[in-house]
A = this chain, B = another copy of it.
């Protein structure tokens, strides 16, 4: 966000910021950008499977998703990832690996941090809030990639990554080794 940007509206989820921007002809216009809490996403493995969610929210039908959610303002995204994995699934891991970060939407300050959580073990029942209905499911490595063809897969920002891995057999092998390292 430019240093002269001012917060003009703070909603439940989104903030709206505006600033004066000099145009190419010297005139001045009001520019606008959004801000929202960052997101932490988790690709969690349990033995030789990947853990995904079948989820429903109060204003949606069922969809497939990954564990994760909003980072509190100033919360470290890795801490948010650990917290969301435990709350939504009851699983935890001792092997966390940073996979990628991306800013998927133009005109919006919003970063998605994606982590791999290896060798997860079940610790306690999930703690769901009143806006979540979640079931966990364990799927095969190949099935995980085909989520990129599933129109009900919620993590649209991961689809591009999955397609790129599908395009490149070397990348796919590396990703397999990252998720399921040989002992």
Residues in A lying within 8 Å of B, measured CB to CB: 2, 8-9, 11-14, 16, 18, 21-25, 27, 29-32, 34, 58-59, 104-108, 130-133, 154, 156, 159-160, 163-164, 166-167
Copies of this protein in the complex: 2
Specify which chain B residues have a CB less than 8 angstroms from the CB of A27 in the assembled complex.
Answer: 130
Given contacts A24-B133, A58-B23, contact A14 B31 (CB under 8 A): no
4 closest Cβ pairs, A-B complex: A23-B130, A9-B9, A163-B163, A25-B130
Q: Do B24 and A58 touch across chains, with their CB atoms under 8 A apart?
A: yes
Q: Do A34 and B34 touch across chains, with their CB atoms under 8 A apart?
A: yes
Given contacts A27-B130, A163-B160, contact A9 B13 (CB under 8 A): no
- In the complex, A156→B107 CA distance in Å? 12
- In the complex, A130→B167 CA distance in Å? 41
Q: How far is the CB of A112 from chain B (nearest CB, A)?
A: 11
Given contacts A58-B22, A163-B164, contact A12 B34 (CB under 8 A): no
